Amino acid sequence: MKKIVFSILLIFFSFLFCFLIADLILRLINYPKVLLLKKDDSDYIQYDDTLGYRYLPNLDIEIKNENYCVQVKTNSFGFRDDEWNFDGKYKSIFVLGNSFSAGYGLPVAERWSNRLNYLLNIETEKYSIYNISVSAYNMKQMIEAGSYLSSFVKPQIIIMGLYLDGLSRLHDPYVFYNGFAIRSSHVKYAKIKNNRLMFTHFESELMKNIESFAIVHSVFYNFIINKMQKLKCFFNANFGPEYNIAFYGVDEILPELKSNYDRKNIKLIILPILQHDENRKFRDNDLILYKELKHLCNENKIYFADILPQMEKEIAMGKSFFIRNDSHWNEDANQIAAQSLYLIIDKLSCSY
């Protein structure tokens, strides 16, 4: 019995020693600096009973790394927008979306909702735009965020930014785990401390605390998580199944949502979030989903921002739509989205 206990302890301390050596090596080669570039908004997320999570309210911080340097401010509601005025003086537009619509990695002036606001109000102020987007929100959270804000002000237009590569979030929503947005089915348990939300693989409180400690203090633990996420993304991109709009249930949700908004005299516009790869090529499956989504919107008389032709034209001229070392949209992509949405809303304005 003593030999078994001794062997177990020897294995444990040997593993711990190797773990600490690996942690030290990564610190010596400045790995935390690299890791921070891969971090998402989880440091600025808090738990919310209705929406699952939202940004911390009244933030005013600078996020700086090798890819970008941006000032991030949130209002008292916990969204990355100015403090909202609900006086009803102007027509209201709700922006529902995820990190692409929240303006990840960009100053707020450069994201498409702010560019759209400038285009719409360049002559006379006609609209107030409320951006209630949060990183990794799925369609259900977007709809709930819109319902939440509609108790304060009634929108005339709702723009929903749908990330084509993230439509699977409808049934397996993304959550934040150690700075990464990953599917909640992979992290089934949650730990809430001081109103901050952390998802975890473990059910017992002891293991939650150990993992929480490792996330905060261990570079090697973060290194492992980082590599696991990259591996998972690689397999999803190269060996994942080919899905379609019907598989995700979008063909049922959007018409029902459109019908609901029609009863409230609200116009719905869909903005497809389309990405290219490092070779400036759009993935075949994304193009299929884009085509299906466009057809679905046309069938149900839902306004659709057809950004693909302009994107293809500018890519052919050598442009890229990525933030440096990141797959989120840069200023050029946001400008295309804003211009496309402006043309739709300008026509709608004539009918009001």
pLDDT computed for residue 228 by the predictor: 72
DSSP for 107-153 reads: -GGGSHHHHHHHHHTSSS--EEEEE---TT--HHHHHHHHHHHHTT-
Q: How far apart are the first and last CA of the chain?
A: 83
Radius of gyration, CA atoms only, the chain: 22
What CATH number has the domain bearing residue 150? 3.40.50.1110
User: Does residue 193 lie within any of the structural domains?
Assistant: no
Mean pLDDT of 273-283: 86
pLDDT digits (tens, 9 = 90+) for 108-161: 999 999 999 999 988 677 899 999 999 888 898 899 999 999 999 999 999 999
Q: What is the mean pLDDT of the chain?
A: 83
- Round to whole Å and give the CA distance between 139 and 170: 6
User: Does residue 154 lie within any of the structural domains?
Assistant: yes
Same domain (yes/no): 253, 321: yes
Domain span at residue 1 reads 1-38
User: Does residue 75 lie within any of the structural domains?
Assistant: no
C-beta atoms surrounding 279 within 10 Å: 5
User: Does residue 338 lie within any of the structural domains?
Assistant: yes
pLDDT computed for residue 11 by the predictor: 85
> What's phi and psi for 157, nearest 5 deg?
-135, 140
Same domain (yes/no): 14, 154: no
User: Does residue 304 lie within any of the structural domains?
Assistant: yes
- Which is higher by pLDDT, 323 or 338? 338
In this prediction, residue 276 has a pLDDT band, given cuts at 50, 70 and 90, of: confident
* Strand boundaries in the chain, DSSP class E: 45-48, 52-55, 60-64, 69-73, 91-96, 127-131, 157-163, 174-177, 180-183, 189-193, 196-200, 267-273, 303-304
Same domain (yes/no): 247, 128: yes
Comparing C-alpha atoms, which of 169, 193, 195, 186 is closest to residue 228?
186
User: Does residue 208 lie within any of the structural domains?
Assistant: no
pLDDT digits (tens, 9 = 90+) for 77-108: 999 999 998 988 889 999 999 999 999 889 99
User: Does residue 78 lie within any of the structural domains?
Assistant: no
pLDDT digits (tens, 9 = 90+) for 218-274: 888 878 877 776 676 666 666 666 678 888 889 999 999 999 999 999 999 999 999
User: Does residue 68 lie within any of the structural domains?
Assistant: no
- Round to whole Å and give the CA distance between 123 and 314: 28
- When divided into structural domains, the chain yields a total of 2
pLDDT computed for residue 38 by the predictor: 39
Comparing C-alpha atoms, which of 344, 342, 322, 343 is closest to residue 333?
322
C-beta atoms surrounding 114 within 10 Å: 21
Mean pLDDT of 48-72: 83
Same domain (yes/no): 23, 143: no
